[in-house]
Chain A
Amino acid sequence: MARLVLWGWIVVAIGLCALTVPWFLWGDATVVAGIPLWLWWHVGWMGLAALVFRLFARRAWGLGIESGEGSSDGSTPPNAGVDPGGERR
């Protein structure tokens, strides 16, 4: 399940990157309210990105980083919040 959520968020991140530039408006010079349409898209998209980032920070922060998510080879049992003793310098 955690893995599925992780991949879901990776897909969202790639999607956000992919459409920051509205490639489907390539060569288009439509002007709306004095600003090119492709720039309006960009401004709106950045607003959407801020909302998605906020949602991520609230719901899924720590995903793929904090222990229990990323350690799967079982060499050392992950135990969140416990210092791996003796390694601190």
Chain B
Amino acid sequence: MSVALQLGIIVGYLLLALAVGLVAYRTTDRTAEDFYLASRSVGTVVLLFTTFATLLSAFTFFAGPNIAYREGPEWVLVMGLMDGIVFAILWYVVGYKQWLLGRRYEYVTLGEMLGDRFGSRRLRGLVAGISLLWLFPYVMLQQVGAGTALQALTDGAVPYAVGAGLITAFMILYVVVAGFRGIAWTDTLQGAFMLVTTWIALAWVLAAVGGPGAATAALEAEAADHLALGGDFYTVQWMLSTAITIGFGVAMFPQVNQRFFAAGSEAVLKRSFALWPLLCVLLFVPSFLLGAWARGLDVAIAEGENVLPAVLAEYTPVWFAALVIAGAMAAMMSSSDSMLLSGSSYFTRDLYRPFVEGSVSERREDLLARLGVVGFATAAFVGSLVQPATLFELGDAAFSGFAQLALPVLVALYWRRTTRAGITAGILASQAFYLSSLFTAVVPSAYGGWTAGLVGMGLGLVVTVGVSAVTTPAADERRAIYFDGLGAD
């Protein structure tokens, strides 16, 4: 009964999304700028929720509450700092500046913006290449998550490969048809839906167990140290390292960074900026508290099973649990949709066009963009068949990998004397450092409790500034374009 119901809800959701996508398709111009950015016309609610929904990957509903269950609810603080404060500040510092530049010079990607300023096709390709290097495993991770979830949901009736394949096929269809506008619309519906259902879930569970006081008392009896702030797992260094690297990493994630170009007006950016902290509290507090409280409640959680679905199954009706799980799976998919679209734009605009086929018509670029989506998704699907790894490890590596780009980009945006040699060296040095810390024993992964991701960011900053200071700008750099004549109107 519950399996059929869950599948029914998931299929129903997919059909609804497809309907939204078709409406979006009808209002779409056949140009790459419209496909990628909805012609820079997005309003406050849609921009806020589409950015938010792309952040809500499998992590918020599965991995995050699992950690809160095992280690305590301090994750709320880490998420609040990274997404509600650090990212909100970057929303202004990086986002508003990028929006102004994107509107004036018609940039669609980060690589394009940097390549234009530094007069370097190679820098443009480098930024896109590095971004794809981190994006690809992250998309794959979402497919692994979806395949695993479908398999678990159906008790193996839908095998992992079939589940991941079906989801991939649907995503390709959806992204190719709907483009950015359709994705943003479904993200908005879905973000609002998840926010509401998470609170209903919390209310339902609390009503069943006798309120927050009783739930916390049960947690105290089971694991008293979870209530105290900090512990062996949540050290000061670890919390700060995680919040800072992920916060900066988010701003450089292609699907988030590209949204900086998509806002319809300055007012849209202003309004969304002030709403970030509130949205983060509204979502992360209930979902992580549910995970943390589950520890003290009488919920049997098997090894490797996700906490939130088990809690819902125990305390809420079958249809409601199915609705939330379907929503969480949809969240995974919406993250992937946006990533596919951005990945494809980085590939076609910053790698294919500059290096393979120079001048293309708008119609042809639009076609290339859609083909790019198919190629990227298929490759990630193949990856998901051969290379499974745990959600958290891969996800964390991707965020820290993107974080390495943030400080060289910030220096370039705000310091006129940044040179092409400086930013290139800064990006290469920090990437080399962080990749080495992941894959070799030569570079340690922790420094007195601080992570290699954070240390790598510092290295990128020092190298960018240092090399810029000792080199002279190349003749074709356009040093003034990030500074002169910038204004909203």
Contacts and interface: CB of A to CB of B under 8 A. Distances in A.
A22 B484 contact: no
Interface string A26-57: 11110101111011001100110110011011
B276 A53 contact: yes
Contacts, number: 156
Interface stretch (B58-66, B120-128, B209-217, B434-442): B209-217
Given A33-B212, A80-B487, A20 B416 contact: no
A26 B229 contact: yes
Contacts of B289: 35
B489 A81 contact: yes
Given A20-B77, A21-B239, A27 B228 contact: yes
Given A65-B100, A67-B483, A20 B84 contact: yes
Given A27-B228, A67-B487, A84-B484, A47 B271 contact: no
Contacts of B455: none
Given A27-B230, A43-B285, A50 B487 contact: no
A28 B229 contact: yes
A10 to B, nearest CB: 10
Contacts of A58: 270
Nearest to A60: B92
Q: Is the interface of A mostly helix, strand, loop or mixed?
A: loop
Contacts of A81: 485, 487, 489
Nearest to A80: B487
A67 to B, nearest CB: 5
Interface residues of A, number: 51
Residues of B in contact with A, size category: 35 or more
Contacts of A39: 73, 76-77, 285
A34 B215 contact: yes
B192 interface: no
Interface in B453-489: 478-481, 483-489
B89 A13 contact: yes
A7 interface: no
30 contacts: A17-B81, A20-B85, A22-B229, A27-B228, A27-B230, A28-B228, A28-B229, A29-B229, A31-B220, A33-B212, A34-B215, A42-B76, A42-B281, A43-B285, A46-B80, A49-B85, A50-B277, A53-B88, A53-B274, A53-B276, A57-B271, A62-B487, A65-B486, A66-B488, A70-B483, A75-B416, A78-B485, A79-B485, A81-B485, A84-B485
The 10 closest A-B pairs by CB, nearest first: A34-B212, A34-B213, A29-B228, A54-B274, A57-B270, A46-B277, A53-B274, A80-B487, A49-B277, A29-B227
Interface of B: 73, 76-78, 80-81, 84-86, 88-89, 92-93, 96-97, 100, 104-106, 116, 211-216, 220, 224-225, 227-230, 236, 239, 266, 270-271, 273-278, 280-281, 285, 289, 414, 416, 478-481, 483-489
